[in-house]
Structure 1
Amino acid sequence: MKDLQFKRHRRLRSSANMRALVRETHLHVDDFIYPIFVVEGENIKKEVPSMPGVDQISLDHLKAEMDEVVSLGIKSVLLFGVPVEKDEVGTQAFHDHGIVQEATRFIKEHYPEIIIVADTCLCEYTDHGHCGVIEGGKILNDPSLDLLAKTAVSQAQAGADIIAPSNMMDGFVAVIRKGLDEAGFEDVPIMSYAVKYASAFYGPFRDAAGSAPQFGDRKTYQMDPANRLEALREAHSDVEEGADFLIVKPTLSYLDIVRDVRNEFNLPVVGYNVSGEYSMVKGAALNGWIDEKTIVLEMLTSMKRAGCDLIITYFAKDAARWLAE
């Protein structure tokens, strides 16, 4: 053996402190954006059946939720609204007293330092569950853009720090940027769902947000999961139109796309650790098949390693506790 020449890689794995010393990727609570589902009504705290540990909450429960978020050191939340009334154009999405707008005002009044990211879409608010205007069974692109811009401006007026349009209509960043600028919100950034696939991993979210399409699917506006180069075309368009962040959604099965986007652009890259990814881990953990803490931290670390600067995740509270340990 003395005459053999080979590398001693294990020298840098010899102890926990040695491994920590040379660790290349680090998770931090500041990396997390925590999604919250706010519903209209009173005294509502209802666990989403397909997402153990995730609740739909009414405004009167929002303070308790935010107290926990703040106590864990989480600095950013993503707000989704679940209205009582829905119509064909999603009027409650851009209503001055819509549920996201009211939740935003409440959080800004009581927790002014928290960064509020407002999901800007119509699917939770339309009676057909699609992300735009419908005519003859077709989702119309350009008429939908006007409504999305109205929604973004309404959310910014309520105090949202970041607008996050998730609809995947062509030109949505350009129209929303123009609408925000004309309304005096030049300094409000856009966190674009730049690369959003028509994924089966969204199923539990549609339970949480009540946003399942009532007919057809979203494959005419969300991306084909088989496509890679298309992701860069989509992201390039959004950068040219004024995006400030680029989201890749989902993340776990699309880490190659995260790395492509990270290598191509110098904007912050955001991974969305979506509901299906969450529910699979939770379900396996509840059955005792996996070690949830170890799996989750490994999964989130893989997203950071692939190139995510930020991670939207339903595991944010759990991960914050584990990291604090």
Structure 2
Amino acid sequence: MSSQKNDLPSFRRHRRLRASGTLRDLVRETEVNINDLILPMFAQEGLDGKEEIASMPGVYHFGLDALRREVDDLVELGIPGVILFGIPAEKDDQSSSAYAEQGIVQQAIRALRRDHPELLIMTDVCLCQYNPAGHCGIVRNGQIVNDDSLALIAETALSHAAAGADIVAPSDMMDGRVAAIRQRLDGHGFENVSILSYAVKYASAFYGPFREAAHSAPAFGDRRTYQMDPANAREALREASSDVEEGADMLMVKPALSYLDITRRIRERFDLPLATYNVSAEYSMVKAAALKGWIDERAIVEEVLTSFKRAGADIILTYHAMDFARWQKEQAKR
């Protein structure tokens, strides 16, 4: 037998570094940490308690009191922050609830800031939830107009900053919105509020459950005149470059799972902090399969989140954040 081994051709023994769990942990290249995660949350005006979103098991619309209780649990788990989406009681053509001082997001920011001064509060800045057309800009004659939308988008960001947001995250994909927001924030003394730009946001079918969650499905047409074509990669670099020039502090790629190549391209080109958004259908597919007993949910989620970090993301917005944090806490106790 020994003579047969000596006759084997020379080769590398990669398996040596996989021989035990301790050794695998020692040489692991990519780690997902609770501190990497941000939980998206939906605050709904006039809601008492919370209501589960049918297409997103385990994700809820929250009234203000229920939101505060949920964030208490989030802070206890060690998750550093949230990104807030608002669902107003009323909508109008000027999306006025988006930037109202007593809007649902503005109320939520103030409540969470009082409860948890150290919580990182991000806000989604968009108009789609707040107007009957369900589009991310002002609609005129069936067209989504760009330049006139910028003032309302910037006003929305300003209202969030004034309420106490740390980071505003424009998701509308109107050209020039980062510059408009930066100018408005700086002009009102909010130079230290950061902009996380949804720099690379694709017109994706993976947003389906979110449209139910945010009550924001377009009343006509689609969003392909402002969100990106999923077939385009080089265009992503142009979009990100524009936002960097306009003053973005961080960049985002959305969706996450089908756009790992885009995350890698953005990571290699730009040195700003990079986020990716593990969007609603990516979440719901995992949850649905787990509820059927078809997959190991924890193993799948950990593998998926690791893929985002491996591709180059620094920050992961994910509806799995609470589950992941609980799993990490359980593992730490063993």
Using the size of structure 2 for normalisation, the TM-score is 0.97
In 1, the alpha carbon distance for the partners of 2:81 and 2:114 equals 15
- Which residue of the partner structure matches residue 236 of structure 1? 241
- Which residue of the partner structure matches residue 65 of structure 1? 70
Which of the pair has more CA radius of gyration?
2
Shift of 1:44: 3.2
What amino acid is the match of 1:285?
Answer: A
Q: State whether residues 42 and 60 of structure 1, in contact with CA within 8 Å, keep that contact through their aligned partners in structure 2.
A: no
Q: Which of 255, 258, 268 pairs up with 1:253?
A: 258
Q: Which of 70, 73, 77 pairs up with 2:82?
A: 77
Q: What CA deviation, in whole Å up to 9, does each residue of 1:211-245 have, x standing for no partner?
A: 10000000000000000000000000000000001
What amino acid is the match of 1:121?
Answer: C
Q: Which residues in structure 2 correspond to 1:142-221 (within 5 Å)? A: 142-221=147-226
Q: What CA deviation, in whole Å up to 9, does each residue of 1:218-275 have, x standing for no partner?
A: 0000000000000000000000000001000001000000000000000001010000
What amino acid is the match of 1:313?
Answer: T
Gaps (5+ residues) in structure 1? Answer: none
RMSD: 0.6
Shift of 1:202: 0.2
In 2, the alpha carbon distance for the partners of 1:150 and 1:210 equals 22
Q: Which of 80, 105, 117 pairs up with 1:100?
A: 105
Gaps (5+ residues) in structure 2? Answer: none
- Which residue of the partner structure matches residue 2 of structure 1? 6
In 1, the alpha carbon distance for the partners of 2:314 and 2:264 equals 11
Matched, 1:293 2:314: no
Shift of 1:42: 4.0
Q: Which of 77, 91, 95 pairs up with 1:90?
A: 95
**Runs of 4 or more off by more than 6 Å in structure 1?**
none
Shift of 1:63: 2.0
Q: What CA deviation, in whole Å up to 9, does each residue of 1:93-124 have, x standing for no partner?
A: 00001000000000000101000001100001
Using the size of structure 1 for normalisation, the TM-score is 0.99
Q: Which residues in structure 2 correspond to 1:104-143 (within 5 Å)? A: 104-143=109-148
Q: What CA deviation, in whole Å up to 9, does each residue of 1:274-299 have, x standing for no partner?
A: 00100000000000100000000000
Shift of 1:37: 0.2
Q: State whether residues 89 and 132 of structure 1, in contact with CA within 8 Å, keep that contact through their aligned partners in structure 2.
A: no
Q: State whether residues 72 and 320 of structure 1, in contact with CA within 8 Å, keep that contact through their aligned partners in structure 2.
A: yes
In 1, the alpha carbon distance for the partners of 2:233 and 2:32 equals 27
- Per the alignment, in what secondary structure is the counterpart of residue 190 of structure 1? strand
